[in-house]
Amino acid sequence: MDNLEKEVKLLIARIAKIPDDKLSDSSNLFSDLGVDSLIGVEIFAAIDKKYGLNIPESKLGSVQTVADVVSLVRELKG
């Protein structure tokens, strides 16, 4: 696990109030972790702020798992 992946997972865990050891790459944010749309918005707002990204809403529809979030951050960071 690299630094970016670790940071994103810790951020998700903190905002969703989930122990970080419960997160795996394949954890579904919604069905496995109980993230609702409000928490999802908080997660992406925090990612935007931390990494200086502006995540387009069109990209959010394809995000389901923790690995999807990490991949999206990597893609947008370039």
Residue 52, pLDDT score: 95
Fold of 3-77: 1.10.1200
Residue 78, pLDDT score: 83
Residue 61, pLDDT score: 85
Specify whether the CB–CB gap between 43 and 11 falls below 8 A: yes
Cβ partners under 8 Å of residue 63, min gap 6: 29, 69, 72
pTM of the model: 0.91
Q: Taking the chain (78 residues) in consecutive chunks of 10 residues, what is each chunk's mean pLDDT? A: 93 94 93 94 95 90 94 93
Residue 1, pLDDT score: 78
Segments making up each domain of the chain, as ranges: 3-77
